[in-house]
Structure 1
Amino acid sequence: MNEIPLEAFWLISAFLFTIGFAIILIKKNTLFILMGIELMLGAANLNFAAFNRGDTEQQGIIYGLFVLVVGVCEMAIALAIIIQTFRSAKLRE
């Protein structure tokens, strides 16, 4: 069975990170900015998974899970702020 070379993971991760960073710089919508951040976190997770292949202690998976937890918390807090903003704007009308 052929293994995927580490450079392929680097290229895909760099591509995803660049797309996420471009979305953050270009878009003004909060949801698109959050999507860009999630793409950047996904690129970091891909790197952790790629570097975990030769690790016997599975440290890359642990770091990857930590990044996922941080991403989920970030999305929950951001969506709560967005909902609260819309509610307060609705009350002012």
Structure 2
Amino acid sequence: MISLTSYAFVAMMLFSIGAIGVISRRNIFVIYMSIEMMLNGVNLFLVTFARYHFNMDPQVITVMVIAIAAAEAAIFLSVIILLYRSRKSLDTDIFNTLKQGERT
């Protein structure tokens, strides 16, 4: 049987790897994937402690978060496509001055 600490360790590792990805990367797509990894780490924490305390409430919240993340993924990926079409790059340094009339 896998213990609570094993699941908590995996969740902490997922969250930590995601946080390092957000801090260290410059590609907006990689940053988005790192944020999703952090979200999955938090979801794993919720499910782990729900299982430990025999409570279903955090599992319901986790299912809601996954559903919202799916909708958010569709919107965010469409924004990434629009940004790539306008700037021909996904480097975050290019997007620090997004203005209405500016085209470079």
Give structure 2 stretches of 5+ with no counterpart: 89-102
Q: CA RMSD in A?
A: 1.9
Asked if the contact 2:18–2:34 (Cα under 8 Å) also holds between the matched residues in 1, the reply is: yes
Distance 2:32 2:13 in 1: 17
Which letter maps to 1:36?
S
Aligned residues: 89
Question: Counterpart in 2 of 1:55?
Answer: 54
Task: Give the superposition deviation at 1:89.
Answer: 4.6
**Which of 38, 47, 68 is the equivalent residue of 1:40?**
38
Moved more, 37-46 or 79-88: 79-88
Moved over 4 A (4+): none
Question: Counterpart in 2 of 1:13?
Answer: 11
Give structure 1 stretches of 5+ with no counterpart: none
Task: Give the superposition deviation at 1:75.
Answer: 1.3
* SS of corresponding position for 1:52: helix
Scaled by the length of structure 2, what TM-score is found?
0.74
Task: Give the superposition deviation at 1:27.
Answer: 0.4
Question: Counterpart in 2 of 1:85?
Answer: 83
Distance 1:36 1:85 in 2: 19
Question: Counterpart in 2 of 1:69?
Answer: 67
Higher relative contact order, chain-length normalized (CA < 8 Å, sep 6+): 2
Scaled by the length of structure 1, what TM-score is found?
0.82
